[in-house]
Amino acid sequence: MAVYPTDKIRNVVLCGHSGCGKTTLAETMLFEAKAIARRGNVGESNTQSDYAPLEQQRGHSLFASVLHCSWKDTKINIIDTPGLDDFSGEVVAALKVADTALMLLNARSGVEVGTELIWENLEKNETPTIFVVNQMDHEKADFEMTLDQAKKRFGARVLPLQFPVNQGAGFNSIVDALRMVMYVFPAGGGKPEKKPIPAEHKSRADEMHNALVEAAAENDEALMEKFFEEGSLSEDELAKGLSIGLAHRQFFPLFCVSGLKDMGSGRVMGFIHDICPSPADRPAAALEGGGAKPCDPGARPCVFIFKTVNEPKVGNVSYFKVYSGTLKSGDELTNADNSTVERFSQLFESEGKNRDQVEELRAGDIGCTVKLKGSHTNQTLNPKGSDIKIERIHFPSPRIRMAVLPPSKAEVEKMAHALHSIQEEDPTLLMEQSMELKQTIIQGQGEMHLDIVRYKAEQNFGVKLEFVEPRIPYRETITKEANKDYRHKKQSGGAGQFAEVHMRIEPYYEGIPAPHDLTTKNIEVEDLKWGGKFSFCWAIVGGSIDNRFTNAIKKGIMAKMEEGPSTGSYCRDVRVSIYDGKMHPVDSNDMAFQIASTMAFKEAFHDAKPQILEPVYELEVLCDSEVMGNVMGDLQTRRAIIMGMGSEGHYQQIRAKVPLKELHKYSSTLRALTQGKAKFSMSFAEYAAVPADIQAKLIAEYQKHAEHEEH
């Protein structure tokens, strides 16, 4: 296998809304480059990139696939990504290692919501971007509409290099304004015939060509001077200026193709070869803690893992980018996160499900290896003595949470192992064993994402998972002052137990004054790990209770605060004052005072007009104006408080506060309400009082559950 120097490598990610034809175009690009002898078809489940059985069953990409091919003297690594928002983590990871993005637009649908979600990540990563209007052969293709939307939504820097002569079912001709030629394709696609641009299209082609020349000249002072002097640039000068402009995101070229009919993809490949930046042309990679790592072929090797896949009978397959140096088969590198020494016994170039073994990979290249012992996604490996870390991939926050029920108690450990293994492969999946809720909680990007988790658990680990709506982490507090005396007395032969506690509880707030009618010796304020405050006031006068029982009394109170009297939820924002009590010289001990304080707190809490609090989230929805009414109507059924409305770009913006309880499966509902023409984000805002009817229901349910447990 050929070894490619850094300046002869191009790393390209195909991205776009679901259904825009990324996998089909990837297949055609491989065919054009003679990397495959026959083009596969998504409908026939035989493409290079959609090779997972679940992808073939569902007929669309679910995971990013790494491919490669050669074009002239250059190696092009292609990462085909899924378009569904549930799998946005795959796109984010691919963008981390790509040097150019091919953003596909569906010629019949224009700029769709998935496109705009991806665009946000392209801007964050400052990724050079090429727009490709695909499916020009569709009977409802509308190039002008798609171009107009792209310019409106992504700015005037979107410059078309091409336009179709006859879009629709008879599509076979493209005018190329960069090379000033018309390409006419045979019926089966492939290599086109070059013809002069027809007279009726010449003026538009000239106008587009001049815009490209101006864009090229703007990026280099020498080119700008020549452009002003001569009014034009040579082909080499034009290529130089466009390369600089693309690398610095000063312009975004736009092509038109039919991936299905293999019309126009070769021209895109040629542009990638001629104009797109190599890894060495991109800015140095940011490091954790500051600093940067240049893509230097002469430096020591540095490798970053951006994707991990667990394959049956193979184990973990680790996909990585070589950020510097040359990685050779047999090299040993140390994981900067956990100090594990890894031997790269085999190196591969990936072709979807197939892997071609190579002896070395140079700076900027993308490859994979198998059976690393302790290295996973988002980790950097270096030679001994170096501990630099490439800045981690920032995966999207979860938008759905579910509780997982194990098949049986005997399989709890097996389930935990399966979920842990899947989480190592998929960092967008979060898992926790919630002691508060007494449930295993998993969080992901959407219902389809969690369906994939369930599928993997069953297929790869033999564990059947059941998802249920998770419990809500409510909180309890009080709204008025209450006093309670409680005596604990137990005699059962020999030493007994005796303790009496006089307690006052009241709502705590910042700046609360000391109790005016009590002689306070000490007031402590504690930040609770579950949020809120707990204030403990020791106001014993005359020694009715020894100071040595202080900690036992506090421990008894905290035991009840960790399992609140009303619903079993954590308590918060309470001040407890111990102002009197009694003890026995023989029968009083820590346990007795702990029990007495627990019971006193419980009874006082019920007398202090308890209030249940629920977590409330800030929700931002961006949607088309045509579906805004549906979104608003749905939010009103979710006890939402609308905080504001406005616009962001061409979207209508709705900001609201919504209880977490009402956001269960919201992503699926929103997608159905808007036909996918909306996006949302959510973040924790506050705890707020639940309505009285809901509070009564929660307390009744808890009491019923407690009675059932007793019996």
For the chain, the domains span: 6-204+251-281, 285-382, 400-468, 476-608, 612-693
Other CB atoms closer than 10 Å to residue 383's CB: what's the count?
Answer: 14
- In percent, the amount of the chain with pLDDT more than 70 equals 98
Taking phi over 0 as left and psi of -120 to 50 as alpha, with beta for the rest, 313 belongs to left
Q: Do the domains at 400-468 and 612-693 have one common CATH topology?
A: yes
**The predicted structure's pLDDT at residue 546:** 93
Q: C-alpha dihedral over 361, 364, 370, 375, to 10 degrees?
A: 130
- Exposure string (b/e) for 462-488, b if CB count within 10 Å is 16 or more? ebebebeebbbbbbbbbeebbebebeb
Tens digits of per-residue pLDDT, 88-107?
999 999 999 999 999 999 99
Position 710 confidence tier, pLDDT thresholds 50, 70, 90: low
Question: Contacts from 631-637 at CB under 8 Å and sequence distance 24+?
Answer: 631/670, 631/673, 631/674, 631/678, 634/669, 634/670, 634/673
* 476-608: CATH number: 3.30.230.10
Position 55 confidence tier, pLDDT thresholds 50, 70, 90: confident
Q: Which CATH architecture has domain 400-468?
A: 2-Layer Sandwich (3.30)
Other CB atoms closer than 10 Å to residue 92's CB: what's the count?
Answer: 22
Q: pLDDT at residue 3 above 90?
A: no
- Exposure string (b/e) for 408-440, b if CB count within 10 Å is 16 or more? eeeeeebbbebbebbbebbbbbebeeeebbebb
Q: pLDDT at residue 707 above 80?
A: no
> HSE of 467 in the Cβ direction (CA atoms, 13 Å)?
21
Topology of the domain covering 285-382: Elongation Factor Tu (Ef-tu); domain 3 (2.40.30)
Tens digits of per-residue pLDDT, 623-664?
888 899 999 999 999 999 999 999 877 788 999 999 999 999
**The predicted structure's pLDDT at residue 454:** 93
Whose structure tokens read 């290079």? 48
* 612-693: CATH number: 3.30.70.240
CATH class of the region 6-204+251-281: alpha beta
Token code pair at residue 683: 């973040």
Contacting residues for 679 by C-beta, under 8 A, at least 6 apart: 85, 113, 116, 117, 621, 622, 623
**The predicted structure's pLDDT at residue 269:** 96
Mean pLDDT in the chain? 92
Tell me how far apart the alpha carbons of residues 64 and 79 are, in angstroms, rounded to a whole number.
Answer: 6
Tell me how far apart the alpha carbons of residues 284 and 710 are, in angstroms, rounded to a whole number.
Answer: 64
Tell me how far apart the alpha carbons of residues 318 and 304 are, in angstroms, rounded to a whole number.
Answer: 10
- Collapse the DSSP code of 671 into the 3-class scheme (helix H, G, I; strand E, B; otherwise coil) and give the result: helix
Of the candidates 70, 73, 67, which has an alpha carbon nearest to the alpha carbon of residue 94? Answer: 67
C-alpha distance from residue 583 to each of 141, 486, 588, 666 (Å): 87, 12, 6, 56
